[in-house]
Amino acid sequence: MKLKLAIHGGKKAVVAKPPYNWPDVTKEEILEVMNHMVHNNISIYDRAHPLGTLEDDFKELTGRKYAIAYNSGTSALLATFYGVSLQEGDEVIVPSYTFWATVTPLVRLGVIPIFAEIDPETLTLSPEGILDKITTSTKAIVVNHTWGNPANLDEILKICKENQLTLIEDASHSHGGTYDQKPIGSFGKVAAFSLQANKPVAAGEGGILVTNSVEVYERATLLGHFGPRSIQTINLDQYAPFAETGIGYKMRIAALSAAVGLTQLKTLKERNKIRRENMQYLSELIKDLPGLKVPIEQPKGKHIYYGYKIVIKPEAFKVSISEIVETLKAEGVKIKQADPHMLHKAPLFNDNISRTPLGWPFSNKEYCQKVDNKKICLPITEDIVYRLLSVKPLVKPALNVIEEYANAFRKVWEWALK
């Protein structure tokens, strides 16, 4: 007997209140911020606590020699690209399916983003999609661990080695994740993390760059810092003259944000464990439902489930994806149709931008003739982004809620399948 759907006046499948609120601001974080406001300077010009402590903890998290805190993940990415000495006209291979901040800092440096395909199983950059994008102008590959799911680093590192390319990790989704039992952020020449409020380490706003390269570290420091911090950091002869002034930007993280991020790091391992248990349990309960595919990990990867994306096969259903989403919502599932991010389709990368202040590379005729993103065809990306459902990950113990979620899926599927 079919159960009456909640959207049609029936009882909801999910009656427990999901503990989904994030960020979860704890008493410890409030006390840390209050203590800093009372006893310390709320602007930090060097590596004093909590800024320096936050950097040290990220070094420990990733096994890297150097770490620098910034005011956002976007700033950390800009410093990352500057740190590896990318120049105007260089090409960098990037996934089209990513948040725009993975790519937009490249444009500020005059670097040309070359969009590549994703792996339909993991939603991360496809090694096969990289190969036909490499030219004599290619200098680097940016890999993102999308929604906390590590990319195929073995194959991508192999491509980088064979073609003498720099690997850069956008680790904004994957704090505490691992690949081959090694920490995410330890594979590229440099990696950047975001500390924005939705991220696994939520500082409100903030970013972290990590690297083993002293040159990357000092160049990246000069881009976003000046005064005492730069003077403490800069030792290489070619950069020492600029230590006091820096070279143009002030991108320091706020001391209070650093205090929150530092406290959040203390519970990251346990939160990742709980979120992983919750979302893997959901996968186990719904994986056999027709017409959907639950998130898939790389064989060596450890997904931390910053996001949980289900791939839908529309041909299996007699109703639309939007109807499925609204019906699941009515049952109490925290779900939406995922935003269809495709940067190669975004106006920023399609109109040659002569009417905006961006300038290079879009105002450069040679670039415009060489790279026409309107002609790029990425069939996997262009198909799959419209078939993604996004379930809000649960960050506290909630196996009872997960079971009710699974009941909601079964109830809706009984109605929706052909």
Q: Above 90 in pLDDT, residue 368?
A: no
Q: What is the pLDDT at residue 350?
A: 76
Q: For residue 226, tell me if it sits in a domain.
A: yes
Residues 47 and 136 in one domain: yes
Residues 11 and 95 in one domain: no
- Domain stops at, among 267, 291, 311: 267
Q: For residue 365, tell me if it sits in a domain.
A: no
Provide the domain limits for residue 95: 27-267
CA 378 to chain centre: 21
> Which pair of structure tokens corresponds to residue 208?
């972290």
Q: Above 60 in pLDDT, residue 194?
A: yes
Any idea of the CA torsion for 51, 55, 61, 63, to the nearest 10 degrees?
Answer: -170
- Percentage with pLDDT > 70 across the chain: 95
CATH of the domain at 108: 3.40.640.10
Residues 92 and 158 in one domain: yes
Closest CA to 337 of 382, 378, 385: 385
Residues 68 and 148 in one domain: yes
* Cβ neighbours, 10 Å, residue 26: 14
| C-alpha–C-alpha distance, residues 74 and 40, integer Å | 27
Beta pairing class for 166-170 and 190-194: parallel
| C-alpha–C-alpha distance, residues 319 and 70, integer Å | 46
Q: For residue 255, tell me if it sits in a domain.
A: yes
Closest CA to 192 of 67, 298, 88: 67
Residues 273 and 403 in one domain: yes
Residues 261 and 287 in one domain: no
Q: Above 90 in pLDDT, residue 238?
A: yes
Residues 251 and 399 in one domain: no
- Please spell the DSSP secondary structure of 114-171, one letter per residue: EEE-B-TTTSSBPHHHHHTT--TTEEEEEEE-GGG----HHHHHHHHHHHT-EEEEE-
> What average pLDDT score do residues 367-380 get?
83
Q: What is the pLDDT at residue 38?
A: 67
Q: For residue 279, tell me if it sits in a domain.
A: yes
Q: What is the pLDDT of residues 97-113, one digit of tens each?
A: 999 999 999 988 889 99
SS3 374: helix
> Which pair of structure tokens corresponds to residue 89?
């006209």
Identify the band that residue 371 occupies on the pLDDT scale cut at 50, 70 and 90.
Answer: confident
> What average pLDDT score do residues 114-124 get?
97
Residues 149 and 169 in one domain: yes
User: Given the structure tokens 């390319």, which residue do they identify?
Assistant: 165
Which neighbouring-strand residues pair with 308? Answer: 391
Residues 183 and 146 in one domain: yes
Q: What is the largest distance, in Å, between two alpha-carbon atoms of the chain?
A: 78
Structural domains counted in the chain = 2
Q: Which of 4-13, 27-36, 223-232, 358-367 has the lowest mean pLDDT?
A: 358-367
> What average pLDDT score do residues 32-55 get?
84
- Domain stops at, among 233, 248, 267: 267
Q: Which residues contact 270 (CB under 8 A, 6 or more apart)?
A: none
Residues 289 and 167 in one domain: no
Residue type, 297: E
Residues 146 and 112 in one domain: yes
Burial class (CB in 10 A: 0-12, 13-18, 19+), 215: middle
> Which pair of structure tokens corresponds to residue 145?
């661990």
Identify the band that residue 85 occupies on the pLDDT scale cut at 50, 70 and 90.
Answer: very high
Q: What is the pLDDT at residue 382?
A: 97
Q: Which of 78-82, 322-326, 348-352 has the lowest mean pLDDT?
A: 348-352
Q: For residue 183, tell me if it sits in a domain.
A: yes
Beta pairing class for 138-144 and 166-170: parallel
The secondary structure of the chain in percent helix, strand, coil, rounded to multiples of 5, reads: 40, 15, 45
SS3 325: helix
Q: For residue 376, tell me if it sits in a domain.
A: no
Residues 221 and 272 in one domain: no
| C-alpha–C-alpha distance, residues 344 and 385, integer Å | 13
> What average pLDDT score do residues 263-292 get?
96
Closest CA to 148 of 1, 36, 271, 292: 271
CATH of the domain at 279: 3.90.1150.10
Q: For residue 374, tell me if it sits in a domain.
A: no
> What average pLDDT score do residues 400-418 get?
97
Residue type, 37: M
Identify the band that residue 351 occupies on the pLDDT scale cut at 50, 70 and 90.
Answer: low
Q: What is the pLDDT at residue 355?
A: 46
Q: What is the pLDDT of residues 123-175, one digit of tens each?
A: 999 999 999 999 999 999 999 999 999 999 999 999 999 999 999 999 999 99
Share the mean pLDDT of the chain.
93
Q: Above 70 in pLDDT, residue 115?
A: yes
- Please spell the DSSP secondary structure of 235-266, one letter per residue: -STTTGGGTTT-SS---PPPHHHHHHHHHHHH
